[in-house]
Amino acid sequence: MTALPLMESALLSTAAKSLVQIEFEPTPLIPARPLEAGEQYRFHFDMTKCIGCKCCVVACNEQNGNPAEINWRRVGEVEGGHYPHTQRHHLSMGCNHCLEPSCLIGCPVEAYTKDPATGVVLHSADTCIGCQYCVWNCSYGVPQYNAERGIVGKCDMCHNRLGDGMAPACVAACPEGAIAIEIVNVAAWRTDYLAANAPGLPSADDSISTTRVTLPENMVPDTDRVDLQHVQPEHPHWPLVFMLVVTQVSIGAFGVLWLLDLFGQGGGLTLGALASLGLAGVSLAASTLHLGRPIYAWRALKGLRRSWLSREVLTLSLFAGAAGAFAGMLLFDLPGRGVAGFFTVLAGVAGVTCSARIYMVAARPAWFTGYTLAEFFSTALLLGPFFVEMLLTQTPGASSPGWVRFVVAGGAAAQLIVQLLKFLWLSGSEAFELRASSLLLSVRLQALLLARFGVLVVAGILLPLMATGTWTITAAFVAALAGEWLGRYLFFVSVVPKNIAAAFTSGERLAA
Amino acid sequence: MNWKRTLGLDNLSEEYAFARDESTGYTSAKKIPDHWVPTTCGYCSVGCGIEIGVKDGHAVSSRPHAAHPVNRNKLCPKGLSEHYIIESENRAKYPLVRKKGKLERVIWEEALSVMAERFRATQAAYGPQALGVLSTGQLVTEEFYALGKLVQLGFGTNNYDGNTTLCMASAVSGYKISFGSDGPPGSYEDMERADVVLLIGANLADNHPILCQYLDANRNKTLIVADPRVSKTAMMADIHLPLKPRSDLALLNGIAHILVRYNLIDRAYVDAHTVGFAELERFLDAYPPERVAEITGLSQETIFKTALLYGRAKAGFIGWTMGVNHSTLGTATVNAICNLALLTGHIGRAGAAPFSITGQCNAMGTRETGFTSSLPGYRKFDNATDRAELAALWNVEESRFPSKRGLAYPDIVEAAVAKKIRALWIIATNPLVSYPNQDVLRHGLSNLDFLVVQDCYHPTPTTELADLVLPAAIWGEKEGTYTNSERRVSKVNKAVEPPGEARSDFDIFLALAEKLGWREELYPGWTTVEDAFNEWRRVSQGRLCDYSGISYAMLAEQGAVQWPLANGETPQATSRLYADGQFQTADGRAKLVCAEWAPFPEQPGGNYPFILNTGRTVEHWHTRTKTKEVPILERLSPRAWLEMNPRDAKRLGLRSHDSVDVVSRRGRVREVELRLTEITAPGQVFMPFHFAETNVNEVTQDAFDPISREPNYKQCAIRVERSLPGANA
């Protein structure tokens, strides 16, 4: 029998020091010392502490004055095990302030800098032109496009607060102390960054994320994202769908025109050259519509050292210039066209290559493949000669040699094979993003995908080889052009980007 | 069209500018206020200190009140975005009266005249009890006190209850039976001081995340969580008890059985401070571990382990919320919890308490001052001394107090169905989302002659049915006090003006009393809420909930203060009830109660094979009238979902994100998004209750606790069907 325990506690009789005095161990959530050489700041996220309350998300939005749809910090869920031994954990992620920031590497205007003092990856709202290339480059979905502003924005670790000795908003808001700022030795981290990986996060290999994640002990092996069934088509980027295909038509067309001119094909080429030049001009102009701040499109040349987007702008501009010279020489029947045409084609090939390289980024696995390059060149091969062929058949007195139509059919066949092989590759893959892309194509986008294949066979192969009528060829070209636009639309919407795990009900509800 | 923006010359740099402010640090310039107004959060009953940032007369930001003793400089996501509830398109701004079927704007004078005339006419025709009032836990204490007087002394009806009956009524009834009075004995600090913490049917991580800090700070505890669902809180536990739905009472009796059988009880405490041990001992024979294991689905070993941990604890804490209360056996389950505390002496000491964690910001205030389940100051209707004391304090005839409480919430609804209640006044609650079995409620409301809805928002599903809508000021627009779960009284302050012609509930009550000529009698000399508070201090003096030592000046100076605090006493950092072992019963002894377990009323089977559980998510608050107005919370939790175990889904051929209907004998919820998860046991499904668009209360059961009248929200039988496309069109 125990003694009456009522009075055992001295706590009852001791008067409190003050009503507002709070007793709790202060855990250091921001570094207590300044950075030394070779060090940078990073986030530490403790998954064992996080309860998924999302205070960090709300605090971040308030700190940065962002609208609700833009969340520089996000909380995702991962789950594993079987009832009642279920484990659900949360991931709270801002920017990972990577050692090799893919956003920074891709940016054509050098809006990104890696702060030499703190290692924070900073983004300049004034420099940004809203091309959104960083959005495609980041494996974590960190940079987000703010359509209201026409620019991208991202987490800057509240480095201005840190500089004042104050905790970032997310750190300060977390009731569980699950988020902290730490100091990391850059060289040491580069050799071992295993702690940047966690279930629900893309591999840190892509950019060497600096965020350290503390995982629970005994995490069940099947722990995975809860949003894996929630795959939505991506944004189509209409100006880019238009621009890419039309540019490729123009480049392919100049290739054929150059060859026809070289091989002594007489009249009728001038019209084709001027029309193709027109296409190049229209598509370059249209591409600026993709930008959040079109007036600053010229800035895109700044990032030549690193950015494939800058290189695309340069090579396509050179192409347009050379094509203009070639067309002018055709018009005035000047000599030396062979050289001008050669440089036009050279710049065009470089342009298509740069275009394709823009999309071949690790963060977008279905684009990160030689198929992207093959798709873009196949478009040029199919539509360029087709365009010239159509104009020649429309021009009284002009004629075209038979091989042009074989090139067209060859281009269509190449595209068909590329698309079929790509689809097989996607659907046979183990990677979630690739398999999800194939599911999007074969289920939600099935009708469009079949239409694209059908157009390639009929308008790209059968009609060019069989049809004789002027208008049939014209109709076939228009159909093939539409087919390539459709293909490029599918290219954009069916890519499933890498990202951090999301919450189950995040995003739009899937159509029933 | 802004051409500068279209070209990209303008990137809204002013709108998105940052600034450095001494108090906020470097932050979005538009969020830096001119001044901060300290107040108390208006969502749940944790009672966090919060500051509203006011800029040019608008509430632009919220932040934790650093000096407040409750929340340790943190807020939950709702608190961090609370300023968004104030300025919303959907605020009720003008009084509206239904004329020829349509709600039309009128002036206050007309609105109050219509209300007074219709209420009086109804009462004249059908008797005073034909008027019902459904109130809330959301007003300030001063308003509850004023409303209680208005309803009881003015209108003379005791058919008055609050949505607190949908929430904490079982805790109230349980406390009254076990300890002789309402009043949670413990404090939050006990979670930090206990060596064993047992949470039953309480998902703190979703519902009271700020309290998790107290658990985190306690490094020496064993945390045991009893919940049929592997909730976020269950995942924090050292021991999770995944018991079968509503088997908690059997578990508690089983623990008591082991404690008694193995002499893990504090016999001296039992002998000195309780009655009923002999009966209880005999009664507990029926709950041996083998039977309890069968009922709960837990192993005998787990039950033993839990009992031994609690029995041998130096300070054992039992916290509970809706898993216990939302039950036809809620009161009995609370009694069984109190039994454990009494048997082991785990009460009235640091770390040792049975403790109900309340839902609404001021449910406590209405329980103490209101006129619903007791007279103000926890006085009992059926106690002649209590009635006489109150009559003397107010200088009114004792005969004006009834000797028993009037109809409780569900009985008011039933009385409306039966046309015994003919006029109803609904204040700051939204039963068209929250009431179980909506069909019955709609039937009841459609039978009324006159429905008044007083709310901060319009339209809500409930205001849309009203004959008269009174626009009320909301949190941040009025003054008063809230009392939180741990009996801590905290000041609520006005930061901005209400929109349009909206007025504080306090002003509305006073204006109505004025209109009816009762103001001087009911509210003698009152002009401000502080006058009401000071009268309440006098009325509560000497009672368990003694406010007499608490003043507005003290609250302003010292922050939030716990009751009881007698006049002239100095507040302690933490107070506990029953530290002296003296309970609020005639003989001062607590009662050990024989609380018999029974299966929940609607067992699954046949066409309705699943058990449906309902609950909350951290982003939303109750019926979402407020949180729907907060864009970031809507972004984080945009819609309802139904949790189902993948093993069941496989059998039904369903997949995650499928659109399903939830069907019970009472109704159907259409097009809910299915979530397959191992959080929920096979045979059980879970759905959040916040969403009017997919309202789970279309299917929940209108079965009620016989004592507290609290609904059995947590278990009913349903089936899940794939939604037919277009069925909702």
The better pLDDT of the pair B684, B358 is held by B684
- Which range has the worst mean pLDDT, A260-269, A407-416, B601-610? A260-269
* Residue B531 belongs to domain spanning: 96-167+361-562
Contact between residue B64 and residue B40 where contact means Cβ atoms under 8 Å apart: no
Write out chain B residues lying below 8 Å of A126, CB-based.
11, 13
Whether residue A4 and residue B345 make contact (CB cut-off 8 A), yes or no, is yes
Are A395 and A486 members of one domain? yes
User: Does the pLDDT value for residue A394 go beyond 90?
Assistant: no
**Is pLDDT of A204 > 80?**
yes
Substitution target from A64, A86, A148 for chain B, most B beta carbons within 10 A: A86
Task: Choose from B74, B218, B241, B270 for mutation: most chain A CBs within 10 A.
Answer: B74
Mean pLDDT computed over every residue of chain A: 92
Instruction: Judge if A334 and A420 occupy the same domain.
Output: yes
What is residue A397's predicted lDDT score, i.e. its pLDDT?
79
Read off the pLDDT band of B690 (50, 70, 90).
very high
Contact (CB<8Å) B681/A11: no
- Whether residue B138 sits in one domain with residue B73: no
Q: Is the pLDDT of residue A17 over 60?
A: no
Task: Nearest chain B residue to A64 by CA: give it.
Answer: B28
Question: Global pTM?
Answer: 0.94
User: What is the number of CB-based contacts under 8 A between chain A and chain B?
Assistant: 234
B225-242 confidence digits (pLDDT tens): 999 999 999 999 999 999
Find where tokens 């939950």 sit. Answer: B76
| Gap between the Cα atoms of B406 and B374, Å rounded | 10
Residue B628 DSSP class: G
Q: Nearest by CB to B639, which of A25, A79, A505? A: A505
In a shared domain, residues B344 and B374: no
A10: nearest CA partner in chain B: B350
Q: How many CA atoms lie within 13 A of B564 on its CB side?
A: 19
Confidence of residue A23 (pLDDT cuts 50, 70, 90): very low
Asked whether residue A254 is domain-assigned, the answer is: yes
Testing the interface with A: which of B223, B230, B578, B642 to mutate, by most A Cβ within 10 A? B230
- Give the pLDDT confidence score for residue A264 in this predicted structure: 80
pLDDT score at A511: 58
Mean pLDDT of B338-355: 97
B618 interaction partners in chain A (CB closer than 8 Å) = 52-54
Q: Are residues A220 and A169 in the same domain?
A: yes
Nearest to B637 among A61, A148, A505 (CB): A505
Task: Return the CATH number at A481.
Answer: 1.20.1630.10
Residue A2: the pLDDT is 37
User: With an 8 Å Cβ cutoff, are B31 and A52 in contact?
Assistant: no
pLDDT at A84 over 90: yes
In the predicted structure, residue B593 carries a pLDDT above the cut 60 = yes
Which tokens in the block code for residue A419?
Answer: 């698309």
Predicted confidence at residue A265, as pLDDT, reads 73
My answer on whether A115 and A202 are in the same domain is yes
The angle at the Cα of B455, spanning B449 to B457, to the nearest 5 degrees, equals 120
Q: Could you tell me if residue B369 is inside a domain?
A: yes
Integer Cα distance of A154 and A146 in angstroms: 10
Mean pLDDT of all residues in B243-255: 98
**CA-nearest residue of chain B to A224?**
B677
pLDDT over 90 percentage in chain B: 96
| Chain A residue nearest residue B18, CA to CA | A64
Q: What is the CATH number of the domain that holds A87?
A: 3.30.70.20
Q: Is B103 helix (H, G, I), strand (E, B) or coil?
A: strand
- Chain B residue numbers with beta carbons less than 8 Å from the beta carbon of A229 are 655-657
Does the beta-carbon distance from A63 to B267 stay under 8 Å?
Answer: no
Task: Looking at the structure, tell me whether residues A220 and A260 fall in a common domain.
Answer: no
CB B402 within 8 A of CB B181: no
Structural domains in chain B (count)? 4
Of the candidates A11, A52, A226, the beta carbon closest to that of B232 is on: A52
ω into B459 cis (within 30 of 0):
yes
Suggest the residue from A58, A154, A443 to mutate for an interface test with chain B (most B CBs closer than 10 A).
A58
Nearest chain B Cα to A19, which residue? B573
Who contacts A22 (Cβ-Cβ below 8 Å, separation ≥6)?
Answer: B69, B72, B73
CB contact under 8 A, B236 and A149: no
Between A6, A58, A175, which is nearest B349 by CB? A6
Q: How confident is the model at residue A266 (pLDDT cuts 50, 70, 90)?
A: low
Note whether A159 and A182 are same-domain residues.
yes
Calculate the dihedral angle through the C-alpha atoms of B202, B207, B208, B214, rounding to the nearest 10 degrees: 50
* B302 shares a domain with B250: yes
What does the DSSP 8-state code read for residue A510? Answer: P
pLDDT tier at B404, thresholds 50, 70, 90 = very high
d(CA B721, CA A265) in angstroms, rounded, equals: 70
**pLDDT for residue A468:** 79
Is residue A440 very low, low, confident or very high in pLDDT (cuts 50, 70, 90)?
very high
Considering chain B, what is the average pLDDT of its residues?
96
Q: What is the mean pLDDT of residues A476-501?
A: 97
User: DSSP 3-state assignment of A143?
Assistant: coil
Q: What pLDDT sits at residue B1?
A: 61
From chain B, the residues in CB contact with A150 under 8 A are 5, 8, 11
Looking at the structure, tell me whether residues B383 and B529 fall in a common domain: yes
* Chain A residues close to B682, C-beta within 8 Å: 83
Q: Last residue of some domain: B357, B379, B399?
A: B357
Which CATH number is B79's domain given?
2.20.25.90
Q: How many CA atoms lie within 13 A of B626 on its CB side?
A: 25
Q: Which residues of A touch B619 (CB under 8 A)?
A: 54
Give the mean model confidence (pLDDT) for residues B621-627: 96
> Which of A170, A196, A225 is the endpoint of a domain?
A225
Contacts of B659 in chain A (CB under 8 A): 512
> What is the sign, positive or negative, of the torsion defined by CA atoms of A239, A242, A248, A254?
negative
Q: Report the number of distinct structural domains present in chain A.
A: 2
Q: Are residues A244 and A103 in the same domain?
A: no
- Do B352 and B365 fall within a single domain? no
Residue B551 has pLDDT above 50, yes or no: yes
| Tens of pLDDT, residues B111-124 | 999 999 999 999 99
pLDDT per residue over B16-75, tens digit each? Answer: 999 999 989 999 999 999 999 999 999 999 999 999 999 999 999 999 999 999 999 999
* Residue A498, in any domain of the structure: no
Same domain, B471 and B365: yes
**Subunit contact B80:A16, Cβ cutoff 8 A:** no
Spell out which residues of chain B touch residue A62, defining contact as CB-CB under 8 Å: 27-28, 31, 61, 80-81
Instruction: Based on the fold, state whether residues B190 and B72 are members of the same structural domain.
Output: no
In this prediction, residue A470 carries a pLDDT of: 86
If you count DSSP H runs as helices and E runs as strands, how many of each does chain A have, helices first?
17, 10
| Confidence band of A409 (pLDDT split at 50, 70, 90) | very high
Q: Is the domain of A135 the same as that of A177?
A: yes
- Domain of residue A332: give its range: 238-493
Q: Inspect the interface and report whether the beta carbons of B349 and A12 lie closer than 8 Å.
A: yes
My answer on whether A202 and A255 are in the same domain is no
Residue A432 sits in the same domain as residue A488: yes
Q: Which residue has the tokens 């203060």?
A: B561
- Judged against a pLDDT cut of 60, whether residue A1 lies above it is answered with no
B654 within a domain of the structure (yes/no):
yes
pLDDT tens-digit series, residues B277-308: 999 999 999 999 999 999 999 999 999 999 99
Q: How confident is the model at residue A12 (pLDDT cuts 50, 70, 90)?
A: very low
CATH number of domain containing B306: 3.40.228.10
* Residue B488, amino acid: R
**Whether residue A354 sits in one domain with residue A209:** no
Nearest to A81 among B348, B635, B678 (CB): B678
Q: Report the gap between the CA of A239 and the closest CA in chain B (Å).
A: 15
Q: Is A32 within the bounds of a domain?
A: no
Cβ contacts (< 8 Å) between A296 and chain B: which residues? 8
Q: How far is B208 from chain A (nearest CA, A)?
A: 10
So what's the pLDDT on residue B726? 64
Is residue A90 located within the same domain as residue A43?
yes
Give the whole-angstrom CA distance, residue A170 versus residue A173.
Answer: 5
Q: Does residue A374 lie within any of the structural domains?
A: yes
A503: closest chain B residue by CA: B636
Cis upstream peptide for B499 (omega within 30°): no
Residue at A508 is within a domain: no
**Boundary of a domain, candidates B85, B112, B133:** B85
Residue A16 has pLDDT above 50, yes or no: no
* pLDDT at residue A13 is higher than 80: no
Interface contact flag, B8 A9, Cβ < 8 Å: no
Q: Is residue B190 part of a domain?
A: yes
DSSP assignment string, A173-216: H-TT--EEEEEEEHHHHHH--GGG--TTS--GGGT----EEEPP
End residue of a domain, out of B357, B390, B415: B357
- The per-residue pLDDT for A26 is 55
Q: Are residues B190 and B276 in the same domain?
A: yes
Query: In the predicted model, what is the mean pLDDT of residues B95-101?
Result: 96
Domain assignment present for B146: yes
Is residue B582 situated within a structural domain?
Answer: no
The DSSP 8-state label assigned to residue B559 in this structure reads -
Contact state of B8 with A1 under an 8 Å Cβ cutoff: no
Q: Are residues B699 and B621 in the same domain?
A: yes
- Are B526 and B670 members of one domain? no
Residue with tokens 């809620």: B330
> Are β-strands B196-200 and B160-162 bridged in parallel, bridged antiparallel, or unpaired?
unpaired
- Cα of B389 to nearest chain A Cα, Å: 32
Question: Are residues B635 and A149, on separate chains, in Cβ contact within 8 Å?
Answer: no
B643 Cα to chain A: minimum distance (Å): 11
In a domain, B177, yes or no: no
pLDDT for res B573: 82
Is B243 found in the same domain as B331? yes
Same domain, B348 and B226: yes
CATH number of the domain bearing residue B497: 3.40.50.740
User: Residue A15 — pLDDT band, cuts 50, 70, 90?
Assistant: very low
List of residues 6+ apart from A341 with CB closer than 8 A: A254, A257, A258, A261, A262, A326
Higher-pLDDT residue of B3 and A6 is B3
**Has residue B486 been placed in a domain?**
yes
- Contact across the interface for A509 and B15, Cβ inside 8 Å: no
